[in-house]
Every structure is written in C-alpha cells, then in structure tokens.
Homo-oligomer: A and B are copies of this chain.
C-alpha cells in the first residue's frame, strides 16, 4: 500500500499529541501490573494485557505457551514487500530493595515529567511506544506500509530460557527484513542512543554448605565456615586487576574491529565528569577514560558479583557460624565467547580449587549478538533517529548489557538494531527505574517514522 508520507505522518503525530492522556494511562496500567519473572508474579495477567494491546493495534495476537512464561506473539501482514519485527519482553526485574524506591515500584507515578516504575524503561515503555505507533499510524493512514511482527517474551530478565525453542519452532512465521531490539537511552546531552549488538551472559549462583544448621560462631574454631570458603573461591576467580582467572577465558576475545572503533567514540572529559558525579564516584574502574573506557565497556568481558549472602544480615551483631553461603555472579561475554565453554571452565576451576562440592545453579546463558552498521535496518534506524530527534544520535556497535539478540541475528538471520524510550537516569534493574514522559512520545513518533521509511528501502 502506497502511503503519502508527510500528511499521514503529520496526522499520526497530531493524534499522538491529542491522545497523550489516554496513551499515558495505558502505559501506566501496564506498569502497575507487576510481572516479575524471577518470582513468578503477575506473568499471566501481563501477557494478557500485552495481547490485548496488540489486538487493539490491529494485530492478530496470541499467547504461546512455552515451558516457562509464555511468549506473546502478534503480526499484521498487509502484503507489503518489507517486514519489520519488534522484539520486546513483558517481564521485569524484581523491585528489591523496596525501601530504596522514592516512589512505589508498581505505582507508575509521574513526578516532574518522569514516570517511575519497575520495568517502564526495561522494557514496557518500549513495547507500548511501538505498539501505539503501529496503532496510530494504521489509524492515520487507513493501513500500514510495512508488515509488522511483535515478539514479546516473558523471560528476558531470567535468561530467556525458552525463547530459543520458540524461535526454532516458529522459524517460518518469524522471517523479517529487519528487527528492532528492545530498548535505547538518551544520554545526558539528549542524544538518542542506538546500538547494534549486545554482550552474551552466563549467570550462575554458587552455593556452599557447612554444618546442617546455623551454629554459634564460637564453633567456628573447629567447624568449617562456608562463608570463608566462598570468599576464598571468589578470590581465585578475579583479582583487583579485574582480570578473570578462568582457564582460557580470554582465548576467544577479539580486539575491536575497525568498524567497531569508527563508531565506539569515547566520551569527553566533561561528559565523563558529569556521569561520575551522578554516580557519586571519583573515577572509572582502573582509572580508565576516553576511548579506553569505551573499549573496556563494550568489547571486554566481565565477571561481576551481583549478590552475596551468608549468615546474619540484620541490624547490630549476631555471632553465628552460617550453614550456607552463596554468590550470584554474572559473566558478560563478547562475540565468540561461548557461555557453555565458560561454564565448563568454571566447573573445572571449582574442582581444581577444592570446591567440587559447591552447587552451581545456572540462571542464564546466552552468547553475544551483533549486526553490521552497514545493514539496511542500521542505516534506516540512524537516519530516522536523526530526523525524528533533530540531533545527531549516539551510535554504538554494541552495548555493555546482554540479551538474546543472537536468536534473531544468528538463528533467524535478521539484522537488528535498537533504540527506545530510555534516558540516562533510567535506573534499569535498580530502584527508581524511570522514563521521561516526553521521551515516550518522541520515541513513539520515531517508530511511526521508522515504519514509513523502512517500507521504502
């Protein structure tokens, strides 16, 4: 269907403006519905809300069972030559620690133009902006210039354990000429961020047990303390030089390519200083700055303690010898690093350190994913961002975070890029997660523009 661009887009943009209240209320309703995959809270209810929003936009949508939380899949085939696929997830991170939220995590309150809610930035705001852009453009134009598919999973925050099965089982209907990944963030200078890759991840919990119950700590003179064993083991995984000590961990780590280095620009000293001040820290890790900092962030793997638990953690003192100690660890991996090989190396390492009795619980394993910035979707995303936002976007070959992008890029062969409603104070995975209301509508306009322009490539 040929659509006269300018008048249709103008009409869609005016509809966005005139319906801000209703559009915002729909987003708030979605955010007020908890959907904590790790704790199995509100998942079915949220999947149904997502399905209804797809239907409201004219898509044929269904809730597809998996071995875990279902996928919500919707599509609208208008017979156009091009198809655009959107990847999102409706699950959110746990809101803990609750007492550190200024506003309730599932209140979706708006203060000074900022909407606070667990998952609003990661990832409900993005899904909502996209599906509403489809709905309004379709309404404005009486149709769409491009076929659209929405794949919204419910397990991204717990490792996308069933996404692969879904994609393999539905390979035939998932074909597309380009895909838009889950999210994107404006930086402190207001530049919208685009990225075309993600790191891989291996998330494990290590758990070691001592006696069969907590004991009085006087007993620690003669009874093994699992907390000490955990500390000693962790110390063998990474030292203060930040180098990961697993055998072969760096064997598959490649230096950044020429294309990587063209796009991975370091920040200015002023930008770095502003960001450090915002974080309340004096310097980045190892004193890195500029391009070195960007390269470390984007193209180097990590090993991070995400959680430590043992013994008494309340106020004051309790003299207890803990019966169990555990650590949650994530490894962020770069292309070619296989999470399964890293896991095998970790198990080997435990054995060699006399920690073969440690329990290893795998909470997620996903390789990295990358799309060339020469792909059509990359070019259109960058050009439309420039047009929609009126500033030069901040383009990155990859981001420091992870996600199951490889399923689209490598399994389905769909070039993929990402942009979204976020900002530099999004606080994803942290208290006071938020987006700016204006960014939400600006991104909605960008998606409408993208739908129109992608039809033309």
Contacts and interface: CB of A to CB of B under 8 A. Distances in A.
Interface in A72-109: 93-94, 96-97, 100
Nearest to A364: B317
A84 to B, nearest CB: 26
A354 to B, nearest CB: 8
A169 to B, nearest CB: 25
A224 interface: yes
A131 interface: no
A172 to B, nearest CB: 32
Contacts of A401: 216, 218
Interface string A199-228: 101010100001111111111111111011
A305 interface: yes
A313 to B, nearest CB: 4
Given A216-B428, A314-B38, A222 B285 contact: yes
A296 B222 contact: yes
A376 to B, nearest CB: 27
Contacts of A300: 221
A214 to B, nearest CB: 4
Interface in A266-306: 279-281, 284-285, 288, 293, 296-297, 300, 302, 304-306
A71 interface: no
Contacts of A399: 218
Interface stretch (A231-239, A245-253, A340-348): A231-239
B223 A279 contact: yes
A63 B210 CA distance: 42
Given A234-B231, A427-B213, A322 B305 contact: yes
A321 interface: yes
Interface stretch (A324-332, A407-415, A436-444): A324-332
Contacts of A4: none
A310 B199 CA distance: 24
A159 interface: yes
A21 interface: no
Q: Is the interface of A mostly helix, strand, loop or mixed?
A: mixed
A416 interface: no
A159 to B, nearest CB: 7
A167 interface: no
A215 B430 contact: yes
A227 B314 contact: no
Most interface-central of A240, A288, A308, A330 (chain B CB within 10 A): A308
Given A203-B317, A305-B231, A429-B320, A311 B285 contact: no
Contact of A231 (B100, B214, B231, B280): B231
A334 B286 CA distance: 41
A402 B315 contact: no
Given A38-B316, A318-B328, A431-B213, A402 B307 contact: no
A218 B332 contact: yes
Contact of A220 (B96, B210, B222, B304): B304
Contacts of A402: 218, 319
Contact of A214 (B100, B159, B218, B227): B100
B203 A430 contact: no
Contacts of A306: 217, 311-312, 317-322
A313 B399 CA distance: 26
A305 B316 contact: no
Given A217-B429, A231-B234, A235-B231, A311 B308 contact: yes
A400 B231 contact: no
A210 B227 CA distance: 22
Contacts of A297: 221-222
A363 interface: yes
16 contacts: A93-B320, A203-B319, A215-B429, A217-B429, A218-B400, A219-B400, A221-B300, A224-B281, A225-B304, A231-B305, A306-B312, A306-B322, A307-B322, A308-B313, A308-B325, A317-B363
Given A39-B316, A227-B308, 7 more contacts: A94-B312, A157-B317, A211-B281, A217-B306, A225-B304, A231-B305, A305-B311
